[in-house]
Structure 1
C-alpha cells in the first residue's frame, strides 16, 4: 500500500503541469461557460424542471457523446507519455516498488483525473444554473431541485467510462506512439456513437457506446410527476465494470511478462 501511495503521489507531481492534468479542470469551465452564455442570451421562460433539463442536457450531450471518450483517450495516453518520452520505463520498474503498485497507481491516477473532470462538470452545471437564475430572475431555477438527479447522472457517466479507460490505458501503455491508441480510440468512439444512436440491441456490449447509453437511459420516474430516474445500475454499467476489471487485470499480466520500452 505504501508503494501505491508513493507512486500515486509521484504521478501527481509529474503531471501537475501537463495539459492532461489541466484539461480536467479547464475543460468543464469552458464547456459550462459557453452553455451558460448561450442559455443567458437565448433561453426563454419555462417551467423550472424544463429549464434545468435544457441546461444540463446541453452540457451532457456535448460531454457524453463525443468529448468524454476523446478526453479519456487523451488522459490515458498523457499519464503514460511522460515515461515514453523520457524513456524511463525500465528505470521506473527497477525501483524498490512492485510493478503492481506502479501499474495500479498510474491507472487510478488516470481514473482520478476523469472523476475530477466529471465532478467539476456536475458542480458547475448546478452552480451555473443558480447563477443563471440570479442573472435572469424570470428563470426560476431555484424552484426545482435537480442536484440529486444530476450527481446520479454524472456518477453513471463515470461508471460507463471505466471500460474505455481500461482499454485505452493498456493501449497507451504498450504503444509509445500517440497516433495508434488515438486512432483506435477515435474509430471505436465513432462506432460506439453509431451503435448507441441507432439503438442496436447489442450496443451495451461495446464499451465505447456506454457513455451515450448512460445519458439516453434517463427516464421519468413511475408514479411521480416531475421526477426522473437516472437508472444508474443497468446492464451497460455492469458490462462497463466487468470490462474495466478484466482488462485492468489482463493488462497487469501483459506488463509483468512484457518488457515495456
Structure 2
C-alpha cells in the first residue's frame, strides 16, 4: 500500500470517528450561535433596524456578524475543537493503538490534522450559510428590513472568511501539536485560552504581527492596511509559515515519543 493510500484510508477513518463525537456537533453549534443571536435581535427590533431607502441591509448585517465572531470566537473554537478531537483518542488510548499499527506514523498525525482543518472549514461554511439563511428568513417575516430587495456581496464576505481561516492556521498548528503532545486535556486547553486572551490584549502592539493568536483580529481590524510581505498580507504569510513549521516539528516531536 502506497503512502498516499495510507493517508487517505486513515483520514476516512478519522472522519467516520468524528461523526460519533461531540466535536462534530460543536462545529454546527458554534456556526449557528452568532447568526441565531442576530436573527433574534433583528426580529425583536426590526422597526429600529430597518435600513433607509436604497440602503442594502446585508452590508451591515453580515459585516457586524463577521466582526463579532472572528476576533474572539474563532480562536476559542479552534482551541476547543482541536483539544476535543485529540482528547477522544487519548482517553481511549486510541493514539497508542494507532501508533502500534503497521502504518506510517505520519499518516496518523497528518490524517488527524486534516480532520481538524476539515472541521474548521466546515464551521466557516455553516456560519456563512447560516447568515444567509437567517437573513433571508428575516426578509420573509419582516418586509421593512428589505433583505429580499437586495443581494448580499457574496465574494466580499467569502474573501473575509477565507482570510480569517488562513490567519487561523498558525493557531491550528500550535494547538494540534500541544493536544497531541499532552495527554491531559487541560494543558492544551489552558495554554490556548491564555494565548487567545493575550492575543486580544496585544493586537494593537506592532509586535503582534509575530503572535499567531492575534492574527484573526488583525485580519479584521487592519483589512487592506495590513503590512505586506513579498506583496502578500503579512498575517497570511506568517500564519502559513507558522502552520507548516509547527506541523512538521509537532510530527517529529510526537514521532519520537513513547506514547503510553
**Structures share fold, TM-score greater than 0.5:** yes
Matched residue, 2:82: 76
| Partners of 1:39 and 1:55 within 8 A in 2 | no
Matched residue, 2:248: 249
Question: Could you tell me how far apart the structure 2 residues matched to 1:94 and 1:207 are?
Answer: 34
Correspondence list, 1:101-250, <5 A: 101-141=107-147, 142-196=149-203, 199-218=204-223, 233-250=232-249
Three-state SS of the structure 1 residue aligned to 2:144 is: coil
Deviation at 1:84, TM superposition (A): 0.8
Q: Gaps spanning 5+ residues in structure 1: where? A: 221-232
| Partners of 1:126 and 1:147 within 8 A in 2 | no
Q: Which moved more, 1:174-183 or 1:106-115?
A: 174-183
| Partners of 1:76 and 1:172 within 8 A in 2 | yes
Question: Could you tell me how far apart the structure 2 residues matched to 1:174 and 1:88 are?
Answer: 14
Deviation at 1:50, TM superposition (A): 6.0
Three-state SS of the structure 2 residue aligned to 1:161 is: helix
Q: Which moved more, 1:150-159 or 1:47-56?
A: 47-56
Matched residue, 1:225: none
Deviation at 1:12, TM superposition (A): 1.7
Question: Could you tell me how far apart the structure 2 residues matched to 1:149 and 1:59 are?
Answer: 14
Question: Could you tell me how far apart the structure 2 residues matched to 1:136 and 1:219 are?
Answer: 35
| Partners of 1:164 and 1:208 within 8 A in 2 | yes
Q: Gaps spanning 5+ residues in structure 2: where? A: 226-231
Question: Could you tell me how far apart the structure 1 residues matched to 2:27 and 2:56 are?
Answer: 28
Give the aligned length: 248
| Partners of 1:65 and 1:193 within 8 A in 2 | yes
| Partners of 1:35 and 1:58 within 8 A in 2 | no
| Partners of 1:36 and 1:132 within 8 A in 2 | yes
> Is 2:21 the partner of 1:18?
yes
Question: Could you tell me how far apart the structure 1 residues matched to 2:192 and 2:68 are?
Answer: 18
RMSD over aligned Cα, in angstroms?
A: 2.0
Question: Could you tell me how far apart the structure 2 residues matched to 1:33 and 1:64 are?
Answer: 16
Question: Could you tell me how far apart the structure 1 residues matched to 2:113 and 2:36 are?
Answer: 30
| Partners of 2:75 and 2:168 within 8 A in 1 | yes
Deviation at 1:32, TM superposition (A): 1.2
Deviation at 1:193, TM superposition (A): 0.5
Deviation at 1:219, TM superposition (A): 5.4
Three-state SS of the structure 2 residue aligned to 1:153 is: helix
| Partners of 2:57 and 2:150 within 8 A in 1 | no
Three-state SS of the structure 1 residue aligned to 2:14 is: helix
